[in-house]
Amino acid sequence: MEAGLLQSMRVLGFTPYEARAYHTLVRYGEMTARELSSLSGIPYSKTYEVLSRLQEKGFVEVQKARPMRFKAVAPRDALKRYGEHLLRGLEEEHRQQLRSLEERFKARVEAVNQALRILGGRLQTLYEGRGALEASEEVIWTIKGRENILCQIKSLIREASHIEMILPSSLLNDLYEALRGARGEVIVDVEDERLRGLRGIALYRMEETPFKCLILIADGRNTIFTSESLETAFKSSNPGLVTILKHFFRHEREEAKPL
């Protein structure tokens, strides 16, 4: 029996004996179990068991004679019927796996949301109860990771009543929604129609900026400034540092054009 035929039949769920038995019946026609054993090399003691399984699969017909005779169902018919059966089974298995995956996904999402609710409430209460861990006048805090940095910037914008900010165009998409509710002054390096939606902000345009860092001063007391790559940021309420950054901001604002 050709290796390719055997491999294909094994893909369909046939054992090597079943494949050899059906192949022999297709090739030589109707025969007894003993003849099949002789032609296929299947042990005679196994032939009836093998033929019975092929009959259940719809590939063999049996003539009740003495001795019983067996013949192959036409491959076109048998394979069409059996293939449809296999494909229906695979589709059902696929649906069941999808349902199981969706259920696990929903359970995981609910577990994560519940954990976030519990931790967000209890840990925030502890955090506020001992005083927010803002930078003291002697400390500069380092923040790592783009998402962490953006989260801190948005929080500082939303909590402030007045901001002074140098905003690189690369961060406009990330911070636009937070800026919509802000008040203050912002220096940008790009013209964008969306900037007209920032009603509470006085906008200034720099034709050229010497660097692509973000600087944010909130209420004249707290500041965040970033590296150009936004991989690192620094947060502080040190009066000396805040004063230096305010002077720098005002110098850049004088060089900029109002929008």
- Give the pTM: 0.53
| Distance set, CA 90 to CA 82, 83, 85, 95 (Å) | 12, 10, 9, 9
CA distances from 30 to 49, 63, 85, 174 (A): 17, 10, 26, 76
Regarding beta strands 257-258 and 215-218, do their DSSP bridges make them parallel or antiparallel, or are they unpaired? unpaired
d(CA 199, CA 197): 6
CA distance readout (Å), 15 to 7, 28, 160: 10, 20, 74
pLDDT 10s per residue in the chain (259 long)? 788 888 899 999 999 999 999 999 999 999 999 999 999 999 999 999 999 999 999 999 999 888 999 999 999 999 999 999 999 999 999 999 999 999 888 888 888 888 887 787 777 777 666 544 444 555 788 888 888 899 999 999 999 999 999 998 888 889 999 998 899 999 988 888 888 888 899 999 887 666 678 999 999 999 999 988 888 899 988 888 899 999 989 988 988 888 8
